Every structure is written in structure tokens, then in C-alpha cells.
A and B are shown apart, each in its own frame.
Chain A
Amino acid sequence: MTCTLHSRHEARPLNTSYLLIAEDDADLRNLLSLAFERAGYKVHQCANGVELVQRLQTLIEGKEDTKILGLVTDIRMPGITGLSILEGLHDLGVALPVFVITAFGSQEVHAQAARMGAAGCFDKPFDIESLVGAVVRAVGIH
């Protein structure tokens, strides 16, 4: 699998723009990474909320010479929830396209996510291709 991807990546010029993926389940995280990498994105994985916050901080503060294109995050994660992060970004005024994944799928969570400026909200189990499509539409192809 990785071989296939690598061969594709090598064909494209590397860029320093990242897509952040935060999901506590390793298999799903890898699967998502694969799908986005296949779509041509550079992906950075976070296994839990704490890692995500740390990564976001360094990127926002501009300590790294990189740019975050967008964030795909699970809502229920150990450490901190995806909604709290969305809220934090919203409060900080960071214009970042955020896609939240939720298993609850309640109207409430959807409404909350929309209110906090989420670019999209997906209920598990969702079609990975449609998530990729939505991200591509929102941040463009890099």
C-alpha cells in the first residue's frame, strides 16, 4: 500500500502545506491518511487531542515554516474533544477549514459544529471518498 503511495508522491513536488488528521483509532487514522495522501496532500497524524493541540500551537505560532491547509478531527478523543478545539480556533479567529467526524450524529452536535464554523460534519461510518471530496472542494488541491 505504502509503496503505491510513495511512487505517486514522488511524482509530485513536495510542499510544506499539511493536512492535520486527529483520530484516536490507529486503523481509521491510517486509512484517512492514505486516502488524503492519495489525493495529493501531505498529512500529519495526531493520535489524541493533546497531540493535536500541541501541533496546532506550533503551527499557529509560526514556529515551523509550514502551513496547515485544513483539519480533519474526531469529536470524541482522549484528552480533549474535537468540538473544544473547533471552539478554541473559532475564538482565536483562526480561519482554518475544520471537518469533524462524529459517531453520535445527533442534531445537536451537527448544529454545534456548524455554529463554530466547521466546514463539514461527518457521521461514522462515512464514505471516505466523499470526505476527501469535501476537503478538496474546501482547500483545493495542493
Chain B
Amino acid sequence: MRIATKLVIGSTAGMLFVLTVHAVLTFRREMAVIDADQRQEGQRLAHAMSLAVGLEWDQGGKEEALALLSDVARRDSDVQMRWVDSSTQRVPTGTQRVDSAAFSTSEVTGSSQDVLHSYALVRDSAHPLEPTRGAIQITQILSDEKIRVQESLKHLAFAVLIILLINAFLATLLSRQWVQEPVAKLLLMAEHVGNGEFHTRANLTRKSGREFADLGSALNVMAKRLQEIQSAREEEYQRRIASEAQLQHAERLITVGKLASGVAHEIGTPLNVITGHADMIRRDQVDALGAIKSAEVIGAHAGRITTIIKQLLGFSRRSGPQRTQVDLADLSKQASEAMLGAYADKRGVTLRADGLDKPRLAFLDATQMQQVVSNLVMNGIQAMDAGGVLTIDLHTAKASPPAGLALEAGEFLCLQVTDTGKGMSKEEQQHIFEPFFTTKDVGEGTGLGLSIAYGIVRDHGGWIEVDSELGKGTTFSMFVPRGMTA
């Protein structure tokens, strides 16, 4: 129930109660006053009549006296007078000879709802000790005054009803203005704040009621504080974004620097071989056969440079993943078997696979992911010069991404490729994903493979971890998000 309705009902009920009590008390008092007046009047009249009738009785006898009574009764229409004879009926109670006066009147008033009887005894004044002659009965009918009081009470009740209706109407009207409107304003404000719109303010003046105005300004202060906190947080966020961007830029510069020095190293040697042989030919230091050999060497090293440049272009122009629903287990199985078929036999490497017989769905670019798996498997094979076991294990794992990656911890698909090869030092592990970093002999790799693989996996919202011990072997763990939402 609305507060306003409660207030209206409460105030109306209160007024009704007070007015009703007042009316009842007034009515009772008025009635008592009228009653007392009538009694007094009746007694006086009875007394006067008993004296008059008594005198008439003494002088003219009973007949004269009763005639006087009926004569007076006929003239007065307001009251009825009756003779109660002691010889024919019992005189009403309370007529004992208590009073010693000649006309001692001991009257009994038996009042019903409408009439009031007053009695006065008539005695023989010469012989007061004789039994009474009888009594005068005065009967008064309920006076008009009482009826008027009742009427005015009815009017009062009607007036009360009207007042109550007006009160209810006004209270409803005013409560709407004084309670409902400010409450609605405050409610709207609270909803805005709840929705994070901290710039809204509740405009409540003293006119709306001090409590509401106070509540409104408290809400405004709260919203202002929240706004300040929000903007401070926003600024902090922007600062962090900016510093992260700077960091990324710096990292990019470092990467470019590393890439450049990597290119310089990788291309420097073949260029040197090419220019050296070219010089020998130019200076006529070789014979015809030597020139042919030199040309072959030049061609081979030019080819090496071409390969490096192609890989570099592949590294830089790599497009975003074209993802489809892929069974990573099947993909890993095919990729690893192909690599083992091509390279493992001559090195004496055997394959052990875990978890590849059960489908593991993920949202991946199949071609890119094949490249990654092939690369990891190839690295494992190349790390085992003297043969060994290459273990491929695919499972789901709860994992936390390494610090610095904007990824949430959760459940990932994890592909682990473990070799029993020569392993790497901590120093080597730190640089393993950098472009042009390689632990392989010349001609086995350019040092771009793992760097490209890492980039691809990062594009898929995952990452690669390395764990290695010198002389024991290395494990590469690739994490990619599982399921459709990847």
C-alpha cells in the first residue's frame, strides 16, 4: 500500500474517531440536561397541582378537586394529568409517610423512552396522619428539544462525513504532490545511478519537503563521488592503455631490431660467399671448372637468401586465422605422422601418442595449426640426433596464461610435444620464440619456425610454453581455447 494512501486512511480514521467521540459525549450531556429539566418541571407541576387539588378537596370535596384537575389538564396540552386514587389502586411506590409536611411529595418518576411520569401525593392537611387521599400523576411526553438535539446530531454526522471526504480528497491530492512526485524523482535517480549513469542529479528543493530534499542531496553527493571514482578509474585505465601501447611499441622496436640483426646475420654469410666467389671469377683466379663450381655455390647461396626472404615475408604477412571447427586430435595425428614418416626413421626416432584417438574440437585455422604442430614435431625430431622417443599428448587442462598476455585463466586444449633430445639451457629457453634464434646447426633451420608458430597460436588466443633440461629433453606445451567459443 502506498504511503500516501496509508496517511489518508490514517488521518481520516483519526478524525472520524475524534468527531464521533465528541458527538456522542455532546449528545449524552444534552440529553442529561434535558432530562433533568423535564424532571424538575414535572415535579414542580405535580407539587403545585397536589397543593391546589388538596385545597380544593378541603373546601369543596373530592368532586370539586378532581374537576379542577381535569380542567387544568384539558388546558395544558404539553402534559397529561391523572388522578391516582388510593381507594381503587395502590399509590405508586415511595409514597410512604416519610415527609412530615402537609403536602409532602415523594414522587417516583418512572420514565420510559418517550414519557416521564411524575407523582405528587395529596393528603388531608387537617389530618396529616390519615392515609393519603391519592396522588397526582403528571405525564410528560418527550419534548421537542430532544428531537431537535437528535436532528442536530444527524446534521453533525453529515458534516463529519463531508469533512472526511474533503480531507481524503485533499490528502490524496497533496500526498501525490508532496510524496509521490519526489519519491518518483528519487526512484528515477536511483535507477540511473544503478545503471551507472552517475552524471544524473535529483532536483529536489525544500518545497518538495525537507526529508526528500535531504535524501535527494545525499543521493547527489553519492552520485558525484561515484562519478569521480569512475572518472579516476577511467583515467587510470587510459593511462594503462597508453603505457601498454608504449610498451608494445618499444617491444615492436626491439623485435624489429632483433629481426634486422637476424636478417643481417642470416643473409650476411651467403652474401659474403656470393661476393667472394664473384670476386674470384672477376679477378680471374679460377679456371673454367672452378668458375662453374663458383657459379654453383653462388646459386646455392642466392637460393638460401631467397628462402630466408620468403620465410620473412611469411612471418610478416601472415594473415589472421580462418577458423573452422577442427578436431585437433586428428590434425595432430596426421601432422605428426607425416613429419615422422619424412624425417624420423633415419634418425631412429619413435612416436608415442596419447589422447589423439578421441576427438578434441576447437575453433582453429586448420592450415596454420598444421604448420604449428609440424614445427613442434620437427623441432623435437631435430633435437634428437641420436634417436629417441617423441611423445605427443593432447588433453584438456586448466591453465593460467603467462603474465603479460591479455588472456583469462580457464580450461584450454593442451598439446604437449616432448623429446628425449639434448635439451636447452635456461638462456636458450628465454629466447627460443624470438625470430632467428636457433640452436640448430647451419642448414637445419633459420630460427623463424617457433617464432611463427608462437605468433599463430597467439592469434588463436593461446600460447606456447617451453620446459627443458639439458641432456634430458624438451617439452613444448601449446594451449588453445577449446570448443565453439574459441
Contacts and interface: CB of A to CB of B under 8 A. Distances in A.
Contacts of A26: 442
B261 A28 contact: no
A125 B301 contact: no
A103 to B, nearest CB: 4
Nearest to A48: B441
A28 B273 contact: yes
A33 B280 CA distance: 13
B276 interface: yes
B67 interface: no
Contact of B269 (A28, A104, A128, A129): A28
A27 B271 contact: no
Contacts of A65: none
A4 B269 contact: no
Given A38-B285, A103-B269, A128 B264 contact: no
B290 A1 contact: yes
Contacts of A4: 285-287, 290
Interface in A27-45: 27-28, 31-32, 34-35, 38
Interface residues of A, number: 26
Contacts of A27: 270, 273, 297, 300-301
Given A78-B441, A103-B265, A129-B279, A28 B272 contact: yes
A25 B290 contact: no
B279 A124 contact: no
Contacts of B294: 1
Interface residues of B, number: 29
Interface in A3-47: 3-4, 24-28, 31-32, 34-35, 38
Given A25-B269, A31-B276, A129-B279, A103 B264 contact: yes
A131 to B, nearest CB: 10
Interface centre among A4, A26, A38, A103 (most CB of B within 10 A): A103
Nearest to B293: A1
A106 interface: yes
Interface in A52-69: none
B196 to A, nearest CB: 53
A128 B276 contact: yes
A104 B279 contact: no
Given A31-B273, A106-B261, A128-B276, A25 B287 contact: no
A20 B134 CA distance: 173
Contacts of A3: 287
A34 B342 CA distance: 37
Given A1-B290, A4-B285, A27-B297, A104 B265 contact: yes
B355 interface: no
Contacts of B270: 25, 27
A127 B283 CA distance: 13
A1 B269 contact: no
Given A1-B293, A78-B441, A25 B273 contact: yes
Contacts of B293: 1
Interface of B: 261, 264-266, 268-277, 279-280, 285-287, 289-290, 293-294, 297, 300-301, 439, 441-442
Interface of A: 1, 3-4, 24-28, 31-32, 34-35, 38, 76, 78, 103-106, 123-129
Given A25-B442, A128-B272, A128-B276, 16 more contacts: A1-B289, A4-B290, A25-B270, A26-B442, A27-B301, A31-B272, A31-B276, A38-B285, A78-B442, A103-B265, A104-B264, A105-B264, A123-B268, A124-B268, A125-B268, A126-B272
Pick the 6 closest A-B CB pairs, nearest first.
A124-B268, A103-B265, A103-B268, A1-B290, A125-B271, A125-B272
